[in-house]
Structure 1
Amino acid sequence: MHARFIEIAQWFESLTTDSLASVSDIYAADAVFIDPFNNLSGLQAVRAVYQHMFDTLVHPRFVVTNIVSDERQGFMNWDFLFECRNQAQKISGCTQFELNEQGRIVLHRDYWDAAQQVYEKIPLLGAILRALRRKLSLPLQNK
């Protein structure tokens, strides 16, 4: 595992509104950020995603559970913990990172199941999505 990815993981785990000032130490000016809700580029846009997270959620934080990397590309598994409507929430996912020659992130692509981990928790929409998931899944075969 490349040392730069350990530094990036530590930055994510200690992320606060104050540490957003150091986002340019982590992301390149032309960074691309993609997740189930966003597809944007540029340092200001990346900073805005994290600021929005702090503005809308209570006690958001990341816990990195695994890192696999070489010098310029890495994958980080994480749990995103926060409170919403006085309930503890957890979203688990993985991020693909690509670094430039200076070791800054030029591509940040999140992979996580928004349907199961967010939308299915919404009362009416959740019931529809859970029914759809059951309809599309393979039936268990008991032997």
Structure 2
Amino acid sequence: MNSNKIEHFVSVYQNLNKDNLALLKDIYHHDVVFIDPMHKVDGIKDLEQYFSHLYSNVQSITFNIDESIEIADKGFLYWTMIYCHPYLNGGKPINVTGHSRLTFKNGLVIFHQDYVDTNAMIFEYIPVIGRLIKHLKKRASK
């Protein structure tokens, strides 16, 4: 880690859980825009609701930070997410790699975009859809 902004962000993020989502205000600007492959969230209140919903639907979730880069007001995180969801993969851990692009304003994240393969994160673990995706991947690699 190469900056206090990134270090602080990662430290808070790795300690988040359903009981301490108020900590989001310590790392996100009130006008934050948060984008992942399935959602776009505007503002800290909506982000808190999004995280509340996320944490209520998983049994556990952790992020291992593999690498971080900071250049001026931009930050880039490369991570592995490990989560357990009661309806995916029989509740067993799922590992997914991804990365995040952050923009800071006054030391807080005002823009956060996650890049992650949603097939590897969700769809491959839904019984019928997962088999279809695996079949298509196998055919495409021939």
State the TM-score, normalized to the length of structure 2.
0.87
Q: Which residue of 2 aligns with 1:91?
A: 96
Ranges in structure 1 where 5+ consecutive residues have no aligned partner: none
How many correspondences in the alignment? 137
Q: Which residue of 2 aligns with 1:123?
A: 127
Counterpart secondary structure, 1:22: helix
* Cα deviation digits, residues 37-67 of structure 1 (max 9, x gap): 1112110111112111211101222222211
* Cα deviation digits, residues 120-139 of structure 1 (max 9, x gap): 121211122222223334x4
1:76 is displaced (CA, Å) by 0.7
Q: Which residue of 1 aligns with 2:51?
A: 50
Distance in 2 (CA, whole Å) between partners of 1:76 and 1:134 is: 30
Distance in 2 (CA, whole Å) between partners of 1:14 and 1:31 is: 20
Q: Match for 1:51: what amino acid? A: S
1:74 is displaced (CA, Å) by 0.8
Distance in 2 (CA, whole Å) between partners of 1:92 and 1:14 is: 19
* Cα deviation digits, residues 72-106 of structure 1 (max 9, x gap): 10111122222223312222211110111x11111
Distance in 2 (CA, whole Å) between partners of 1:17 and 1:130 is: 33
CA contact (8 A) 2:60 2:85 kept: no
Q: Which residue of 2 aligns with 1:107?
A: 111
CA contact (8 A) 1:13 1:64 kept: no
* Cα deviation digits, residues 1-28 of structure 1 (max 9, x gap): 2221111011111112333112112111
Matched, 1:59 2:64: no
Distance in 2 (CA, whole Å) between partners of 1:134 and 1:55 is: 34
Q: Which residue of 2 aligns with 1:10?
A: 11
Distance in 2 (CA, whole Å) between partners of 1:123 and 1:49 is: 26
Structure with the greater alpha carbon radius of gyration: 1
